[in-house]
Structure 1
């Protein structure tokens, strides 16, 4: 049986994106348009994978009071809906897209409180995943769950021989990275700030980022990817540290570009690509997402063209001893 793709979203969100000609703080702003999309990191990853043409199952904790937009997204994209319904309403995240500056201001609201019983039920459902399957654990944890919840789920899935990609931050990421070597995720995808928070020091230069990523890789995480915004992204597998960049882009919205990058890494793993081609594909996913509002990607040909435009530069060589 071929590898199956799964995403897990502990704290999904309804993303309300408001597009403005120019955001004026402290003033009345007239929106050009507003739209609401079912989101949350893992949901966005599943959406991008489906757009690429891969079958994927979405797991997680979903508030039953407003689950309709998520159910519609899953139905529209043929994503297997494995979300566990919990009491309450899924949170709303507000995205203010400033079209003049090509940037976005995020206001993230808290989600419904979940308990250990909910997490145990979700973990039990994920016990069906098997050897070679790919699981993307993505996003923050909702109120009520312990900071080591991702760490415990990662340990469980690794025990099931699942390939695990973790995209989280803060105490939840730190707890997962404190797991013993056999229970560490196979891949992590922090941004520069999240990596610096884990390291406990600023990472001002690319060399500092590369050496910190290598340190994390040497701790037992096979693949470390670091998103760097306009500077591109870094990927380290212990053999080589690659810096990827693209020609300057004119983003319609930066929301979800990191999630698209993660989806590209998962798609590359599914296709058994080498690390350089994996990084190119992930960059293609991220750049393509910059041109779309909501958790959607353009045609496969557009993504492939952007991936081909990605340039790679070697930063750190592999260890020789």
Structure 2
């Protein structure tokens, strides 16, 4: 493995995503889909697929159900992703996405996940420890199976850091709170998730910036705060940027956050400046919401949006400056 380029993703609660297009979807009624697609997915899986488009060497691990593992195995083979998933009895869950193109809304129905045992969890920890010794970055993405203690996130971050890799976390709730305690290299909460972490409401942009800065100063190198269609804040000690995406026709928001993390990681692996990382991450995220699937079809779709992204400095008082970069 080439340490400065090789990347590992960890997905403990992957899913087979079934995305159905249902115009004028109505609960309690018979609805007819005009189309559908099925994908092996989950945050880390989506990110791994995206990063392969940059020809970066990828390994994926986490928990995978034995009974329908072939769906994921086919994807990994086709994308040349090294499969280090821990196999668990049962089926990997299905996530149903109902896309209403008329209402421009997505309804999620997430089925129950796998039930890893203590032995499975220990194997995963050992796998991540082994992989972290030889790679540059390890991305922990997505939710946890209901039976897994959120403290595993803190353990994983600690193991990754101890073995010389950067720990990048994109999760939520108690899993994210546990991650923050272990001080990963990068986190990406949205504004509501940040408010939950800090324990008080965040109504104004300057309040969000202030608390993101506090997390950065605590030892988290990069804090990204997603603000949905308004854009995202990218906070580092020596550079703070606000990126606003162009308006696009929203087909599905599924995978937009994964694309943002993927863009930042690709930018770091390729040696781009922080500003260039932010531009790449924002363009990939914007291009992803314009399609139905969780993984971007073509990088060219994002490339076309790069010049339309407004990137501005955050000034010392917390506001956004008028200087576009």
Q: TM-score range by the shorter chain?
A: over 0.9
Q: Are 1:233 and 2:235 matched, yes or no?
A: no
Structure-1 residue corresponding to 2:267 = 268
Match of 1:169 in 2: 172
Q: CA deviation at 1:294?
A: 1.9
Cross-structure match for 1:145: 148
Q: Which of the numbers 25, 28, 45 marks the counterpart of 1:26?
A: 28
- The question of 1:305 aligning with 2:307 is answered no
Q: Distance in 1 between matches of 2:105 and 2:57?
A: 32
Aligned twin of 1:112: 114
Shift of 1:103: 2.1
Q: Contact 1:5–1:56 (CA<8 Å) still a contact in 2?
A: yes
- Residues 232, 97 of structure 1: alpha-carbon distance in 2 compared, 3 angstrom cutoff: same
Flag the 1:305–1:317 CA change in 2: closer, same or farther, 3 A. farther
* 3-state DSSP of counterpart to 1:65: coil
Partner of 1:134: 137
2:53 is paired with a residue whose SS is helix
Distance (whole Å) between structure 1 residues aligned to residue 282 and residue 48 of structure 2? 17
Helix, strand or coil for the counterpart of 2:107?
Answer: strand
Q: Secondary structure at the match of 1:173?
A: helix
Deviation at 1:131, TM superposition (A): 6.0
Q: Is the 8 A contact 1:137 1:164 kept in 2?
A: yes
CA distance in 2, matches of 1:276, 1:28: 48
Q: Are the counterparts in 2 of residues 288 and 298 from structure 1 also a CA contact under 8 Å?
A: no
Matched, 1:158 2:157: no
Report Cα offsets for 1:180-200 as digits up to 9, x if no partner. xxxx21000111111111111
User: Is contact 1:8–1:60 with CA below 8 Å preserved after alignment?
Assistant: yes
Change in 2 beyond 3 A, CA 1:293/1:54: farther
CA offset digits 1:290-315 (Å, max 9, x no partner) = 22222322333332232332111222
Other-structure match for 1:40: 42
Deviation of 1:70 after TM superposition, in Å, equals 0.8
Is 2:5 the counterpart of 1:6? no
Change (3 A) 1:162 1:225: same
TM-score (norm 1): 0.93
Picking from 81, 84, 101, the partner of 1:82 is 84
Q: What secondary structure sits across from 1:269 in the alignment?
A: helix
Give 5+ residue unaligned stretches, structure 1: none
Tell me if the contact between 2:263 and 2:281 (Cα under 8 Å) persists in the aligned partners. yes
- 1:195-210 correspondence to structure 2 within 5 Å: 195-210=194-209
CA contact (8 A) 1:94 1:107 kept: yes
Distance 1:209 1:250 in 2: 27
Aligned-partner Cα distance in 2 for 1:286–1:54 = 19
Number of aligned residue pairs: give it: 315
2:7 touches 2:135 (CA, 8 Å); kept in 1? no
Aligned to 1:284: 283
Q: Which runs of 5+ in 2 are unaligned?
A: 319-325
Alpha-carbon offset, residue 118 of structure 1: 0.8
Match of 1:53 among 52, 55, 71: 55
